[in-house]
Amino acid sequence: MFNKKISLYSFFNGDILTFTYIFCVFFVLFYNKITIAYTGSSYDFSKAETIIEDGIKNQSFPSAVLIVGNSKGILYQNAFGRLTYGDDSKPASLRTIYDLASVTKVIATTAAIMILYDEGKIDLQAPVYQYIPEFRNNGKENITVFNLLVHNSGLTAWTPFYQDPNMDSPQKVKDAVYSCIKEYETGTRTLYSDYNAFLLGEIAERISGKRLDSFCKEKIFNPLNMSDSYFLVPLSEDYRIAPTENDTYWRNQLLVGYVHDEFAAMLEGVSGNAGLFSTAPDLFRFMQMMLNYGRYTDERRMSPAPLQDTLFKPATVEMFTARVTGIGYSNTRALGWETKPEPTKYPPACGNKFSADCFGHTGYTGTSVWCDREKDLIVIFLTNRVYPTRSNDGIRNIRPELHDEICRVLGY
């Protein structure tokens, strides 16, 4: 009896629907097995885990998510700690949503400008007032889109508008930026500024005719299947958002899903400088696309082979992520992105072992994304280090040490 050949189709008594269902299940499991085997890690990340766990013990941050990968897939991923320091707090997971703070500047704002550039709708050398006429005053006529991207516009870093009772509407805040005066001469030095990123977001809105969050969802998040990336997180997702600061100076509440950055908050949560919330897997999809020069795999399309698509032109990715030179002073900025920073009293956020051919960005809340082209390496490291207060800066030493350890594990 055991020599009798029985087909799967006859086993299911000719039920074509059942047969099709089981076949699809086996196909998905087999495909995932191949994928896991390909992206699974045989490396020992135990010391990297210890670095993060020690950071939690020392209360540098209550939770963290780490993803390490390359242009082909994920090598390692894990979540650590709980959303707060309470024993009854929910454990962090790969689905934990973090307030990205200034990582918004690259994942959303710079990406929006890159799309408009590819579509031929923006001139990087054009004056800002060409897109925002209200900006043409107080000697700002020579500030270009390029200056905003490189952070050498001459504009101040930030202004605590939330302390001014007269700033009681988003439009008043915007008008204050449009009418501001320069702090230094355009193009003479770098001063990292929230004003620059806000204006870039405004330019994207005026060119596209859509609010920044809608534009990014349509043009960036949806194509990349970044389904957990939001400017305004739905209330239904609050249970998996990592709290940021216990704000005792303005909003008088624990911030959960309410953007931490005061400037973005005054603009109702949608701004070019901050406001994006996301997960580590979503950010990995974006950075993998960047490492692949704008190309990505659309896994949602049913086909015999994964379908390749393109978000940016390869030359655009290369141009925006290359360190800008020839501007008359020492500079580590790319267009919107940061390259390997010069050491200060703290090591570079990406550590010392990342090559000069890298790009990334950090966020005030304890988030970072870094990509090293030479090493074919991506590191996504998300924390809520500002919980319960921003005064804790332990991450400044933990983050470089972690990136250096990852490079050591991978043999770099």
Q: Domain tally for the chain? A: 2
Same domain, 1 and 144: no
Bridge partners (DSSP) of residue 378 are 69, 371
Per DSSP, the residues of 130-155 read: GT-GGG--TT-TT-BHHHHHHT-SS-
- Closest by CA position to 267, among listed 215, 365, 335, 197: 197
pTM: 0.90
Within 179-269, residue ranges assigned H as helices are 194-208, 212-216, 262-266
3-class DSSP assignment, residue 253:
strand
69: enclosing H helix or E strand: strand 63-69
- Grouping H, G, I as helix, E, B as strand and the rest as coil, residue 226 is coil
User: Under a CB-based contact definition with an 8 Å cutoff, are residues 136 and 180 in contact?
Assistant: no
Question: Is 140 in the same domain as 29?
Answer: no
Give the structural domain span for 141: 40-409
Residue 399 sits in a domain of what CATH number? Answer: 3.40.710.10
Query: Do 248 and 390 meet the contact criterion of CB atoms below 8 Å apart?
Result: no
| 14 and 103 inside one domain | no
DSSP string, 17-46: HHHHHHHHHHHHHHHHHHHHHHH---S--H
Please indicate, yes or no, whether residues 275 and 159 belong to a single structural domain of this protein. yes
Q: Is there a single domain that holds both residue 119 and residue 250?
A: yes
Residues 362, 312: one domain? yes
> Are 13 and 71 within one domain?
no
Non-local CB neighbours of 128 within 8 Å, separated by 6+ positions: 135, 140, 143, 144, 145, 147, 148, 199, 203
Contacts of 214 (CB under 8 A, 6+ apart): none
Do 96 and 204 belong together in one domain?
A: yes
157 and 221 part of one domain: yes
Q: Are residues 16 and 57 in the same domain?
A: no
* Same structural domain, 166 and 215: yes
**Domain match, 19 and 126 both:** no
Could you list the pLDDT tens digit for every one of the 412 residues in the chain? 323 333 333 333 445 444 444 444 343 333 333 233 234 568 999 999 999 999 999 999 999 999 999 999 999 999 999 999 999 999 999 999 999 999 999 999 999 999 999 999 999 999 999 999 999 999 999 999 999 999 999 999 999 999 999 999 999 999 999 999 999 999 999 999 999 999 999 999 999 999 999 999 999 999 999 999 999 999 999 999 999 999 999 999 999 999 999 999 999 999 999 999 999 999 999 999 999 999 998 877 666 666 789 999 999 999 999 999 999 999 999 999 999 998 888 999 999 999 999 999 999 999 999 999 999 999 999 999 999 999 999 999 999 999 999 999 999 9
